[in-house]
Amino acid sequence: MNYHDAITDLVHYILKNGELYLRLIDSGNAFDKILRNYHQFNLNGDKVYRRISKMSLHYRYSENAWKSKNQLDDLYFEHLVPLKITKEKLLDLIKTNKVSLDSVKAILDENEIVVITRNEQKIVDAPENFKSSLPEGNIDRLSAVGIKIAEETKNNSLF
C-alpha cells in the first residue's frame, strides 16, 4: 500500500458509511483536508507541497510560475478541478450506490495541483471565471483563462 492508496481507502470508508457520516466528517472540514492532502504527497509518501526541491519534479507549473519557481511567496497551488466539484462527484457515488475503491480512486486521480502565480490565481478565481466551476467543452480552467503550462513540467506527476 502507498500513501494514495491509504487516502483512497479512507475516503472509501467515509463514503461507505453514507451521506450523514460524510456530512458529519465534512462539517469540521476534515474531509476537505483529506482530499487536499491526496495531491500533496508523491507515491512514496514524500511531501511535495511547498517543498521547492520536490515540487519541480512532481507538479506542473504555469509558464509564469516556472520563472519564479524558487520564490514560494509568489506561487499558488491550484487544484485543476475545484475541490467543490470533486466533493460533489464523491457524494454522487453515495447517491447512485456506486461507492467502490476504483470509483473513489478515479475521481481523486482526475485532479492535480498545478503551481501558478498569485496573480494567475486571481484570474482563475475571478467571479466571471472558474473559482468553483469548470469551463464547457472539456477544457481545463487554466487553459480557459489563457494560462499555459511550462514545457519543462508538462510530464510531471505525483504518480
Residue 12 domain boundaries:
3-153
Examine residue 159 and state whether it is found in any structural domain, yes or no. no
pLDDT at 138: 80
Average pLDDT, the chain: 96
pLDDT in tens, 113-126: 999 999 999 999 99
Give the model confidence (pLDDT) of 13-60 as tens digits: 999 999 999 999 999 899 999 999 999 999 888 999 999 999 999 999
Residue 38 lies in a domain: yes
Model pLDDT, residue 137: 87
Q: pTM of the full predicted structure?
A: 0.93
* Domain assignment of residue 158, yes or no: no
Q: Establish if 85 belongs to a structural domain.
A: yes
What cell does 97 get? 450506490
Structural domain includes residue 112: yes
Domain count, the chain: 1
